[in-house]
Amino acid sequence: MIVLGIETSCDETAAAVVDGDGRILADEVLSQIDDHRPFGGIVPEVAARAHLELIDGIVDRAMGRAGVEFSDLDAVAATGGPGLIGGLLIGVMTAKAIATVRSMAFIAVNHLEGHALTARLTDGLDFPYLLLLVSGGHCQLLAVEGVGDYRRLGTTLDDALGEAFDKTAKMLGLGFPGGPEVEKAARSGDGSRFPLPRPMKGREGADFSFSGLKTRVRQTIEGLAQGDLEDRDVADLCASFQAAVEDVLADRTANAILTFRGLHPETSLSSPVLVVAGGVAANEAIRKRLKVLAAEKGFQFVAPPPNLCTDNAAMIAWAGVERLKLGMTDDFDFKARPRWPLDPDAPPAPGAGVKA
Ligand code: KG4
Ligand code: ZN
């Protein structure tokens, strides 16, 4: 079984080829970061135009690298949502066109499902497992119970965590995307210098909130700023921000671990697993903290390699493989969905950015 995957939901134009055994035959990602950098954030119209220009070339490149012909493919999977509608339409249309011309299956993949199933591609995990999904557009804790079967245990009430990293970086005059910049600056900083708040810590449940933290970062900068900030101030503030984020993630994830144990007592006794995925999961300090938490709670800890944590098409192709094995293909009347919750039974997220 061989599946071509296409990812265009945000600012990466990506195509990948993955086989039924989880071998990644090609994994091509073109980041549009340079197009968006002057704006300090992602501009939907700029993204849509770039996807349109790049999509054919990246599909060709992935097929070439994989050394396969279209006639070798069993299905084409594309991110069908959630995300920015312009990009989604381009990816879905491209996949449908290839599938129509070559008479093969079309599969619309939920972007969050792509992130959620990556740990099965990289580590061959069995269901169920607990997932912390932290990226630029989403911030959720989920019980991953099967393909297409997810239970949301917590979500953000305002910003996604990656967004909070990006905004903090912007306020400090660091580059975009902000996560890696804040992480780098934090390495030489003193995380105890600024007592930033830990929103939601100690509260019941597993929801998140980051807007208060962001506001306090801004106020702290305003309090410091007499002319330019010193490098030391930037480093200390980044370290303090990261320390606050680590505390919040550990607290919320600990609560979700309790809920997960209640839902899956048998798995919890034998071999429970905590997975972290999404762009923010590339952060070493966060990984380390979650690893310690998992060990304390008797959970195995799995974090896919950073290039499979940030947006990519291998995860979409792999979700396509998983779905194809179960006969879960889609009709050509599938419409791209800017909002597409993984758990339809969970109450709507109040404000989780473009990708709730
Ligand atoms: O998963 P992703 O590539 O795209 C979305 O689906 O959103 O995540 C991108 C986000 C950005 O907000 C970026 O700043 C953040 O992930 N990020 C990081 C790190 N690397 C990327 N945040 C913290 N530390 C990092 N090392
Ligand atoms: Zn993502």
Element (H, E) at 53: helix 44-66
Nearest to 218 by CA among 284, 151, 173: 173
Domains of the chain: 2-116+308-325 (3.30.420.40), 127-306 (3.30.420.40)
189 Cβ closer than 6 Å to some ligand 1 atom: no
Beta carbons within 8 Å of 232's beta carbon, 6+ residues apart: 189
Beta carbons within 8 Å of 272's beta carbon, 6+ residues apart: 129, 130, 257, 260, 261, 264, 297, 298, 299, 300
Spell out the per-residue pLDDT of the chain, length 356, in tens.
999 999 999 889 999 999 999 999 999 999 877 888 888 778 888 888 989 999 999 999 999 999 999 999 999 999 999 999 999 999 999 999 999 999 999 999 999 999 999 999 999 999 999 999 999 888 999 999 999 999 999 999 999 999 999 999 999 999 888 999 999 999 999 999 999 999 999 999 999 999 999 999 999 999 987 667 899 999 999 999 999 999 999 999 999 999 999 999 987 778 899 999 999 999 999 999 999 999 999 999 999 999 999 999 999 999 999 999 999 999 999 999 999 999 988 887 665 443 44
In this structure, are residues 176 and 166 in contact, taking their beta carbons and an 8 Å threshold?
Answer: yes
Considering every ligand atom shown, identify the ligand nearest to the alpha carbon of residue 79 and give its number.
2
177 Cβ closer than 6 Å to some ligand 1 atom: yes
Backbone angles phi, psi at 177, to 5 degrees: -70, 150
pTM exceeds cut of 0.85: yes
Considering every ligand atom shown, identify the ligand nearest to the alpha carbon of residue 137 and give its number.
1
304 Cβ closer than 6 Å to some ligand 1 atom: no
Radius of gyration of the chain (CA): 20
97 CA to centre of ligand 2 in angstroms: 24
Ligand 1 atom showing the smallest separation from residue 176 Cα: 14
